[in-house]
Each structure stands twice: as structure tokens, then as C-alpha cells.
């Protein structure tokens, strides 16, 4: 029991408060924060099996299902600066009155 005496004293201090303040401000708050972080990471994880990266891009496959994919597994390459500039120039030219 000696190696776990610190745990015994911490549990006594946490759960012996008659109004439960120590429990709500201590372990329950930690459990809530860790659960919220776990849910966020679970839902923002890449949908490719075994990939641990966060997925910030959504991809809708031809059948209409949306998948959250990371930059590595997303099927489209990110646009380059030259591509964006060319698209902006084309849009500007199209909006000019003739």
C-alpha cells in the first residue's frame, strides 16, 4: 500500500467534499477536456485506414459520399500560385465590359 499512498490521499481529498466541488473542478473537468479532444481528433482524422494525419479537406466521391482526407490522400493536387493568378486574370478579363 505504501507505493500508492499518494493515490489514496488524492482520492480522499477529491471525493470527501460533501458538496462535490473537488470532484467537479478536478477529475471531472480533466475527463471532459480529454473527451472533447478525443472526439475532435476522431472526427477530423483522415478516413484512409491507418492514416493518423488530420484531415482538413473534404472530398465527395462520385457516389455522393463525403470523406475527410488529409493532404497526402486527397485525389486533387493543391493549386499553384501560377494557376490561381491565371484564374484571377481570366475572371478579371471576363468581367471587363466590352
Looking at the fold, whether 5 and 34 belong to one and the same domain comes out as yes
Looking at the fold, whether 16 and 55 belong to one and the same domain comes out as no
Q: What is the domain count for the chain?
A: 2
Report the range out of 3-7, 12-16, 91-95 with the highest average pLDDT: 91-95
Count CA within 13 A, CB hemisphere, residue 35: 6
Residue 65 domain boundaries: 47-98
Looking at the fold, whether 5 and 37 belong to one and the same domain comes out as yes
Looking at the fold, whether 32 and 56 belong to one and the same domain comes out as no
Burial 23-38 (b: 16+ CB within 10 A, else e): eeeeeeeeeeeeeeee
Looking at the fold, whether 28 and 11 belong to one and the same domain comes out as yes
Task: Give the SS3 label for residue 1.
Answer: coil
Element (H, E) at 78: none
Looking at the fold, whether 22 and 6 belong to one and the same domain comes out as yes
Looking at the fold, whether 37 and 52 belong to one and the same domain comes out as no
Residue tagged 479537406 (cell numbers): 57
Looking at the fold, whether 11 and 51 belong to one and the same domain comes out as no
Looking at the fold, whether 13 and 57 belong to one and the same domain comes out as no
Those residues whose C-beta lies under 8 Å from the C-beta of residue 8, and which sit 6 or more positions away, are 1
pLDDT digits (tens, 9 = 90+) for 51-76: 888 887 787 877 788 888 887 877 77
Query: By percentage, how much of the chain surpasses pLDDT 90?
Result: 6
**Could you tell me which of 78, 77, 65, 72 has the C-alpha nearest to residue 45?**
72
Helices then strands, counting H and E runs in the chain, come out as: 4, 2
Amino acid at each position: 500500500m505504501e507505493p500508492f499512498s499518494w493515490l489514496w490521499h488524492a482520492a480522499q481529498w477529491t471525493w470527501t467534499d460533501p458538496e462535490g466541488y473537488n470532484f467537479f473542478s478536478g477529475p471531472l473537468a480533466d475527463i471532459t477536456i480529454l473527451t472533447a479532444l478525443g472526439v475532435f481528433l476522431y472526427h477530423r482524422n483522415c478516413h484512409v485506414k491507418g492514416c493518423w494525419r488530420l484531415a482538413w479537406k473534404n472530398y465527395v466521391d462520385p457516389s455522393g459520399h463525403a470523406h475527410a482526407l488529409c493532404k497526402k490522400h486527397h485525389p486533387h493536387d493543391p493549386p499553384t500560385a501560377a494557376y490561381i493568378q491565371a484564374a484571377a486574370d481570366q475572371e478579371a478579363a471576363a468581367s471587363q465590359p466590352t
